[in-house]
Amino acid sequence: MTHSKPTGKPLTTQVREALDAVAEPARARAMQAYMKSAMPYFGISTVPRRAALKSVFAGIDWPDSAAWQADVLALWRGATHREERYAAIELAAVKSGRRFQRIDALPMYEEMIVTGAWWDYVDSIASHRVGPIVASHPREMKPLMRQWSRCDDLWKRRTSILCQLSSKKATDLTLLYDCIEPSLGEKEFFLRKAIGWALRQYAWSDAEEIIRYVKEKGDRLSPLSKKEALKNIAAS
């Protein structure tokens, strides 16, 4: 049974009603087209969406990780509009759920990555949900990210490359390079872009290292990956 607020309504119902109250149908079709989404939108941009969800999520708590995951997955699986899945990603990060950001949460995030299968979901989960678990559980997570980097699922591979986006100087370069390596020869845009983005992000901490890496890899790095990796270095 999933958690519900004192209103007695299931959390999924409360979220849907809160989003429906601020929906902008005139914007919905354009948002859906931009994201190439089969799932429709309510037409709500980020700021009003988060404002609408704030009151729904206020004071929410769970007795254990299983209850927390049940609520997140109920929202995710039951979504009829894309904003409900954004809400599930945000629910996973509310303050009272931070203590559950452990290795046992990974199967939930893996399901969201594989079934979401698009950058707007995956990039947020990779950098803000999976990444902190990699940092707090390195012994278990680093071998797993290396496995993901070689698997057949595009979005798990992208996650392995992007999971350290927020790590700055604490980035494990060996892990980053190991996760990039299996995708160096791939023509898939979302992998090439992820490689460049991850390298560009670390360049803020050590530009010389990224210049060295790009030179070392030479033509193994796609033009897109090189351009993205060096973008901020060239601009500085």
Task: Quote the distance between the C-alpha of residue 196 and its chain's center.
Answer: 17
pLDDT greater than 80 at residue 3:
no
Same domain, 216 and 146: yes
Last residue of a domain, one of 81, 100, 119: 100
**pLDDT tens-place string over residues 120-134:** 999 999 999 999 999
Same domain, 144 and 223: yes
pTM score: 0.93
Enclosing domain of residue 226: 138-236
User: Where does the pLDDT of residue 235 fall: very low under 50, low under 70, confident under 90, or very high at 90 and above?
Assistant: low
CA–CA distances in Å: residue 122 to residues 26, 78, 80, 116, 190: 26, 18, 18, 7, 11
Helices (H) and strands (E) in the chain, counts: 14, 0
| Residue 174 falls inside a structural domain | yes
**pLDDT tens-place string over residues 6-28:** 457 899 999 999 999 999 999 99
CA–CA distances in Å: residue 20 to residues 8, 13, 29, 57, 211: 19, 10, 15, 16, 48
| Residue 126 falls inside a structural domain | no
Same domain, 11 and 83: yes
pLDDT greater than 50 at residue 206:
yes
Same domain, 233 and 157: yes
CA gap 219, 226 in Å, rounded: 9
pLDDT, position 6: 47
Same domain, 5 and 64: yes
**pLDDT tens-place string over residues 30-57:** 999 999 999 999 999 999 999 999 999 9
Count how many domains the chain has.
Answer: 2
**pLDDT tens-place string over residues 57-116:** 999 999 999 999 999 999 999 999 999 999 999 999 999 999 999 999 999 999 999 999
| Closest of 140, 210, 212 to residue 171, by C-alpha | 210
| Residue 51 falls inside a structural domain | yes
Same domain, 151 and 233: yes
Same domain, 35 and 83: yes
Same domain, 71 and 148: no
Last residue of a domain, one of 43, 72, 100: 100
Same domain, 56 and 144: no
Same domain, 78 and 156: no
Residue range 170-187: average pLDDT? 97
| Residue 111 falls inside a structural domain | no
pLDDT greater than 60 at residue 5:
no
User: Where does the pLDDT of residue 199 fall: very low under 50, low under 70, confident under 90, or very high at 90 and above?
Assistant: very high
**Domain with 208 in it: what CATH number?**
1.25.10.90
| Residue 122 falls inside a structural domain | no
Same domain, 88 and 173: no
Same domain, 94 and 145: no
